[in-house]
Each structure stands twice: as structure tokens, then as C-alpha cells.
């Protein structure tokens, strides 16, 4: 297995994507925030002092995707065409966060989707920590990527390749 961010001398470097073809690309990532049932109820009813948790987490995730290259050293700055962040109640204790990033470009958007999910989850924690310090963020993963040289990839039943 060859790592594209390592040059012949073994040094970290930014991959040159200049010769790559521009294609439509998208990536979807997810993560789960585990919390007390009372905390999830407070989120759903907008009953927390800091305000509308999911609205703020959505905006935070979108902003994070746009700033990905500022946070992860070897990521390219990208002209994203779409970032979306959504939420799904899995159980009375589990809130799933989903993020999708899209663009037409020369490199993928997996890191942008993963960054959006991570920051949205952290924002939920930040806004709820006063009532539930035991919350846990878990299972952050790429769910699918579409486009580019390697084509389509989808997570199969939580198993990695």
C-alpha cells in the first residue's frame, strides 16, 4: 500500500492534483452522540439555555467543512458546491449526525464531510455539557464517496476493507 501524502524521501507533502480530471465528487460521513434520554428530549424541544442545538450544530458543521484545509495540514482548499448536515434519532439515547459535501473538482471531499460531522458532534456536546457531561461521541466514519479515479465506495455493514 502506497500513501499519497508521503514523497520519495519519506516526507509529508501535499499531493499535486493539477493534472487530475475535474469530476463531480461527493462524500457522506456520519457520527453518533450518545447522551441521557433527558438530554435528547431537551434538544428536541429546544429546552436548553444555549439555544437551538441542532440549528447551531448544522451551521458549525457547514462552516467546518469550508475550513477543512485550515484544520488538516495537507488538505487542499476546495470550492465546495454543497454541504449539508442532518440529524437522525436512532434511540432515546443516540443522535446520529450525517454530513454530505459536494463539488466539481480534482480531489475528493471525504475530509470535508468527516470534518463537518466531527464539529457538528462537538457543537452538540458543547451546547449540552452543562446538563450532561457524560455524553460520548463515537463511530465517526466515512459512509460513501462518489466520483474521481476510484469511483464509488460505500461502507458495508460497518465493516472496513
Q: Which residues are catalytic?
A: 126
d(Cα 161, Cα 145) in Å, to the nearest integer? 14
Residue in 51, 64, 54 with CA at minimum distance from that of residue 118: 64
Residue 150 CB partners (closer than 8 Å, separation 6+)? none
What letter would DSSP give residue 126? H
**How many other C-beta atoms lie within 10 A of the C-beta of residue 101?**
31
Amino acid at each position: 500500500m502506497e500513501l499519497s501524502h508521503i514523497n520519495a524521501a519519506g516526507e509529508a507533502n501535499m499531493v499535486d492534483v493539477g493534472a487530475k480530471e475535474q469530476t463531480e465528487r461527493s462524500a457522506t460521513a456520519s457520527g453518533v452522540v450518545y447522551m441521557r434520554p433527558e438530554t435528547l428530549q431537551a434538544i428536541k424541544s429546544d429546552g436548553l439555555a444555549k439555544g437551538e442545538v441542532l440549528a447551531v450544530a448544522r451551521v458549525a458543521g457547514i462552516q467546518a467543512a469550508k475550513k477543512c484545509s485550515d484544520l488538516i495540514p495537507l488538505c487542499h482548499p476546495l470550492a465546495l458546491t454543497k454541504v449539508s448536515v442532518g440529524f437522525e434519532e436512532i434511540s432515546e439515547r443516540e443522535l446520529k449526525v450525517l454530513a454530505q459535501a459536494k463539488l466539481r473538482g480534482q480531489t475528493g471531499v471525504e475530509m470535508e464531510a468527516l470534518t463537518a460531522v466531527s464539529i457538528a458532534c462537538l457543537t452538540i456536546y458543547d451546547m449540552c455539557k452543562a446538563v450532561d457531561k457524560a455524553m460520548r461521541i463515537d463511530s465517526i466514519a466515512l459512509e460513501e464517496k462518489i466520483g474521481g479515479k476510484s469511483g464509488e465506495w460505500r461502507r458495508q455493514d460497518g465493516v472496513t476493507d
